[in-house]
Amino acid sequence: MPLSTHTLLAETRKRIVPPRTAPPPAPTTRAAVPPLAPGAVPGLGHAAALLRDPLGFLGSLARHGGVVRIRLGPRTVCVVTDARLVHTLLVALARDCPRGAVQDTLKTAFGDGLLMSEGQAHRDRRRIIQPAFGPDRMAGYLAVMHQVTEERAGRWRPGQVLDVAKEMNHLALEIVTRSLFGARLSEDATLAFHRALPDLVKGQIVQSLYPHPALARLPLPVNRRFDAAVRVLNRVVDQAVNGRPGTDRTDRTDRTALTDRPGGTLPALLRAATDPATGRPLTEADVRSEAITMFGAGTETVSTTLTWLLDELLRHPEVEARVLAELDEHLPAGTVPTPEALGRLGYTRSVTQEVVRLHAPNAFLMRTAQVPVDLGPYRIPAGTELLYSLTALHRDPVRYQEPLSFRPERWQDGGGLGRPSFLPFGAGKHKCIGEAFAWAELTVAAAAILRRWRPVAVPGARAREVVWTTVQAHGLRVRLAPRTEAAATSVVRTGAPERAAAPAGTLPTDRARPTGCPFTGTANTPATARPGTAIAVAPPQPRPPAELRAAADRHADWAVHHGLLAPTELPGYRAYALHELIGHAFPRVRGAELDLLVDMLGWFTVLDDHFDGPPGRRPTEAHALVDPLISTLADGPRPTAPDGRLLTAWRELWDRQSESASPAWRARAAHEWRACLATFPAEAEHRARGTVPALGLGLAETMRLRRHGSCLYPFMNILERVHGADAPAALHAEPALHRLRANTADAATLINDLYSLEREERQSAAAFNTVLTLQRARGCTRGRAVSAVRARVAHLRRENEALRRDLGRRHPAGRWYLDGTRELVTGVQAWTSTSDRYQVPGGRR
C-alpha cells in the first residue's frame, strides 16, 4: 500500500545519537544476516519512525550493528551505519552496487547524465566533463564567484531583514549559471526554478518509496507537481544552455573568465565532445541532462551549506572573528581571490569542513546490490536496497567527539580528516566531480558577504533542520548591519595608562567649547593637548560628519513624531548634539543601529529632563511615570501611563533593542534597564524625605544611584546588540568583568558630574552630583572636590586597563567587548567637553 507522506516534510531537530563507546562487535561467523531494527509496526514497518524523525531514527540504528535491516511497508532496506562500510560500498563495491531508487526517479525525468549513469557510460561522461573542473579553470571561476556575490550583497541595504536560505539559493544558482554556463537567467526563470525545486525533491523521495513503480504514473497530486517541476526545470536549463554570455558592463569578469577557459562554457565543451560509445556528438538531450545535474548539485546543497555556515557564525562570534582576521591577512578586502590565497586560509577551511560535517546535506542516499555481496561481516543478498545517511555518519560519536558540537579546531593540523569517516562528496568513481568548485564557492561567497555585512539574528528565526532527501536549513532570518573597518583611536600615553594626549586638529564641531576644563583647571586649547594633561577631550572623528548629521535629522523627526518634543523645542535640543556622543562612544555603528542608539539616548535625555521638574521631588508622580516603563520589560499585558508619549516611544525602543537579541541578552538588558529606571523614583523619595546626598545619604549610596541612573549599564549591553552577538558566557561569569563594568559606569558618571556641575547646582531640587556631595560631606572647597573626582577617574581608568589586559588574555574572543567599554568612557568625555547640554544660560562658555 502507498505510504502516508503528509509528515514527510516535518521539521526535525538534531537529536543526540545514543552513545556508543566503541563500534559494535563483529559477529563470530562470516556472512551474517544484518539484524532487524526493533520497533517495526505491522503493515508499515519502520516507515512511521523514519518519517517522524529521519535523522534521529537513522542515528539510533548504529547501536544495533554496522548494517541494520529496516522495513518500509513491504520492502526491506539495509541501512549502513558504519562509515568504514559505507566507504567500502562506494569504492570496492561500486560496480556491484549501483545507485538506487532515489536516483532512478531523477533518471526517468532527466535522462542518463553523470549523476544517474553507471558503468562505462558514467566513466565516458565523466572524462568529457572533467576538463570543466580542471585546475586551469579555477582562477576564472573564483573571479566570477567573487563578482556575483559582491553584486548580490551590494543590493542589500542596512537594516534589511534577509531570508538567508532563499537568498543563498538565488546566489548559488547565479554562481552556477554564470560560472559554468556564461549566462544570466531572467528573474522569472530564477523564481520559477526555486518554486519548482521543492516539488521536485518531494516527488523524488515519495516516488522512491512507492511499493511499485507504476504508482508514479498515477495522477496523484504529488506526481502532478513533480511532473510540472520537471518541465519548469527543463525550460530554465534550456535558457541557460542556449543563452549567450551577458553583454552589459557587469559581465566583464564573466567574459574574461570565459575567454581564459579552454573549451569555453560547459555547454560548449559538451557540444564539442564525442560520445565514445557511438562515435557521434552528444545530443541536446545529453547536454540538457548534464546541465540539470550541475544545476541541482551546484545549487541546493551549496546554498544549504552557506545558510548553515552563517547560522553557525552567528552562534559562535569568536569563530567569525578568527575567520575575519584570517581573511584580513591572506585575502585583503577588494582583492579577487586566487587559488593560492584560498590555500592559505587554513582556519577558514576548518570552519567550512566542520559546517559540512555537522550539517552534511545528504540525508538519504541509496545503492542496490545487483549481485550477492559481503559488506564487512554481513552477507547482502542480490536485489537488496542499501541506504546510508551522510548526516548521521558525520554525527557518529565513535568517530567524532561531541558530534553535535560545532568545533572547527577538530580539523586543524589534519585532525579528523580520515577518509572513511568524512565523506561529504562521496568516494570512489562516483565522487562529486565538482568538489573543488564547491569548497571554493563556500569560501569565496562567505568571505564576500562577511566583508560587507554583519548579519544579526532575528529572534525566533534561527535555522532549523527540515529533512527531505537533503537536510535543509529553513527559517534563518537576519538583519543586516554594515561591517566597517574599526575606527582607530590613537592613544598617546603620558606617564599613566589612562592619560592620553588629544589628537592634533580642532574638534569636529563648530560650537564653542567650554573655556575651563574640570579635569585640569586650565583653559582648553583647540589644537593639541598640553604635555602632562590628564585626559584628552576628543578622539578622532569616527565617521563622516554628514552621516552623523543625517542621523540627528532622523532622530529629530522621530522625537517630534512621538510627541517627545515640540518643533519649537528642536533648536535648543539639537544643540545638545547627542548624535556626537553616540558617534564618539560607538565608532563602528552605522545605519539602523546608529539610529537606534541616537533615539535611545534622546529618549533617555527627555526622560531625565522630566525629573528636573515636579516628578523629581514627588515620589508618587515619579512612580506613575516610571513604573509603566519598567513593566514594559516583562512579558504580559502592557500598562498605560500618565505620559503616554514617553511610554509609547519606550515600547518601540525596547522592541528595536531586543528584536535581534538572544534570551540571555534580553534578560540581562531588562535587568539593567530596571535598575536604571528605578533610580528616578528612588532619588525623588530621598528628596521628599530630605535624605539627600551628605544629608542622610552617604557617598557610597550616592555613587550606587549615580552608577545605575547614568544609563551606562544599558549602553554597555548595547555593545553586544550592535556587535551582533553576545560576549562569551564565560566572560560574563567573571567577577573581574563585573568590576570593569562598574568602573566604566562610575568613570563616565564622574566625568559627567564634572561637566554638569554648574547646571545641576542651579536646580531647585537637590542634585545627586558627586562633586557637590564631596563638598557637603567633607566640608572641602570646590577645587578640592573636583581634584578628588578627577583623581578617582584616573584611578578607575588605570584599574580598568589592568582588568582588560587580564580578561583579554583569558577571553580573547571577548576583546571587542572590553575595548567597547573603553570607547564608551572616551566618548562620554569627548562629548561632555563640547556639548551645550550642560551649559548654564548666561554662564561661561
Burial of 684 (0-12, 13-18, 19+ CB in 10 A): buried
* Proportion of the chain in helix, strand, coil states, percent, rounded to 5: 55, 10, 35
Residue 21 has pLDDT above 60, yes or no: no
C-alpha cell at 780: 572641602
Cell numbers describing residue 614? 515636579
Give me the amino acid identity at 641: A
Run of H or E residues at 49: helix 47-52
Which residues, in sequence order, are bridge partners of residue 464? 474
Residue 51 has pLDDT above 90, yes or no: no
Cβ atoms 535, 793 nearer than 8 A: yes
Q: Which residues have C-beta within 8 Å of that of residue 417, sequence separation ≥ 6?
A: 353, 411
Q: Across the beta sheet with 75-80, what order do the strands follow?
A: 67-72, 75-80, 385-388, 365-368
Q: Is the pLDDT of residue 325 over 80?
A: yes
pLDDT value of position 110: 64
**How sure is the predictor about 637, in pLDDT bands with cuts at 50, 70 and 90?**
low
Q: Is 299 left (phi over 0), alpha (psi -120 to 50) or beta?
A: alpha
Whether 253 and 151 have beta carbons less than 8 Å apart is answered as no
The secondary structure of residue 529, as a DSSP letter, is P
Cell of 83: 562509515
pLDDT at 37: 95
Measured CA to CA, the distance from residue 289 to residue 113 in angstroms comes to 5
Mapping DSSP to helix (H, G, I), strand (E, B) and coil, where does residue 472 land? Answer: strand
Please give the pLDDT value at position 338. Answer: 93
Label residue 541 by pLDDT band (50, 70, 90).
very low
DSSP lists the bridge partners of residue 367 as 99, 386
Q: Express each pLDDT in 656-694 by its tens digit.
A: 888 767 888 989 999 999 999 999 998 888 888 887 665
Nearest CA among 475, 471, 426, 358 for reference residue 55: 471
Burial class (CB in 10 A: 0-12, 13-18, 19+), 578: buried
| DSSP string for 279-339 | SSBPPHHHHHHHHHHHHHHHHHHHHHHHHHHHHHHHH-HHHHHHHHHHHHHHS-TTPPP-H
Partner residues linked to 482 by β-bridges: 453
Q: List the grid coordinates of 76.
A: 526491506
Which are the contacts of 588, defined by CB distance < 8 A and separation ≥ 6?
A: 484, 486, 487, 542, 722
Cα 29 to Cα 70, 83, 89, 193, 420: the distances in Å are: 22, 21, 20, 52, 24
| pLDDT range class, residue 766, cuts 50, 70, 90 | low
Give CA–CA dist 25/398, Å, rounded.
13
Tell me how far apart the alpha carbons of residues 301 and 176 are, in angstroms, rounded to a whole number.
Answer: 12
CA angle 828, 514, 825 (to 5 degrees): 10
Mean pLDDT of the chain: 79
C-alpha radius of gyration, the chain, whole number: 33
Q: Is 842 helix (H, G, I), strand (E, B) or coil?
A: coil
* Residue 781: predicted pLDDT: 85
With a threshold of 0.75, does the pTM exceed it?
A: no
Q: Which residues contact 404 (CB under 8 A, 6 or more apart)?
A: 14, 16, 358, 395
pLDDT confidence tier of residue 443, bands split at 50, 70 and 90: very high
Q: 454 has which bridge partners?
A: 481
Residue 111 CA to residue 103 CA, distance in Å, equals 11
pLDDT band at residue 612, thresholds of 50, 70 and 90?
Answer: confident
- DSSP states along 196-221: HHHHHHHHHHHHHH-SSGGGGGS--H
| In contact, 591 and 482? CB cutoff 8 Å | yes
- Identify whether the C-beta of residue 201 lies closer than 8 Å to the C-beta of residue 470: yes
**H-run or E-run covering 375:** strand 373-375
CA distance 360 to 347: 19
What's the average model confidence in pLDDT over 546-552?
A: 87
Which one is predicted more confidently, 776 or 256?
Answer: 776
**Distance separating alpha carbons of residues 330 and 322, to the nearest angstrom:** 12
Instruction: With CA atoms as reference, report the closest residue to 392 among 94, 20, 95, 7.
Output: 20
Residues 6+ apart with CB under 8 A from 62: 17, 18, 20, 24, 81, 82, 392, 396, 398
Question: What's the one-letter identity of residue 143?
Answer: A
Q: In the prediction, which pLDDT does 641 show?
A: 56
Q: Compute the half-sphere exposure of residue 488: CA atoms within 13 Å on the CB side of its CA.
A: 4
Contact, 223 vs 217, CB < 8 A?
yes
Cell of 169: 539559493
Q: Which helix H or strand E contains 349, and what residues bound it?
A: helix 346-358
The bridge status of strand 471-474 relative to strand 464-467 is antiparallel
The x, y and z cell numbers of residue 335, run together, are 582583492
Bridge-based pairing state of the strands 385-388 and 365-368: antiparallel
The answer to whether the CB of 818 falls within 8 A of the CB of 526 is no
Percent of the chain with pLDDT over 70: 79
Among 14-18, 477-481, 487-491, 643-647, the range of highest mean pLDDT: 477-481
Question: Alpha-carbon distance 429 to 124, whole Å?
Answer: 12
The confidence score (pLDDT) of residue 642 equals 58
**pLDDT (0 to 100) of residue 535:** 32
Asked if 498 contacts 803 with a C-beta cutoff of 8 angstroms, the reply is: no
pLDDT higher than threshold 90 for residue 378: yes
How far is Cα of residue 287 from the mean position of the Cα atoms in its chain? 39
Question: What pLDDT score was predicted for residue 258?
Answer: 45
Looking at this protein, which amino acid is placed at residue 707? R
Q: Which of 594, 490, 602, 514 is nearest to 546 (CA)?
A: 594
CA 379 – CA 454 distance, rounded (Å): 53
Reported as a pLDDT band with limits 50, 70 and 90, residue 14 is very low
Mean pLDDT, rounded, for 224-241? 84
Q: Which residues contact 431 (CB under 8 A, 6 or more apart)?
A: 90, 425
Q: Residue 108: how many CA atoms within 13 Å on its side-chain side?
A: 17
Own/partner contacts of 618-626, CB < 8 Å, gap of 24 or more, are 618/684, 618/688, 619/681, 619/684, 619/685, 619/688, 621/684, 622/680, 622/681, 622/684, 622/685, 623/681, 625/680, 626/677, 626/678, 626/680, 626/681
The residue length of the chain stands at: 845
* Cell numbers describing residue 753: 558630574
Lowest mean pLDDT, pick from 313-327, 434-448, 544-558, 756-770: 756-770
Looking at residue 509, what is its pLDDT?
28
Instruction: Name the one residue in this structure whose C-alpha cell is 556472512.
Output: 31
**Residue 306 confidence (pLDDT) above 50:** yes
Contact predicate 740/800, CB 8 Å: yes
What grid cell was written down for 812? 580573547
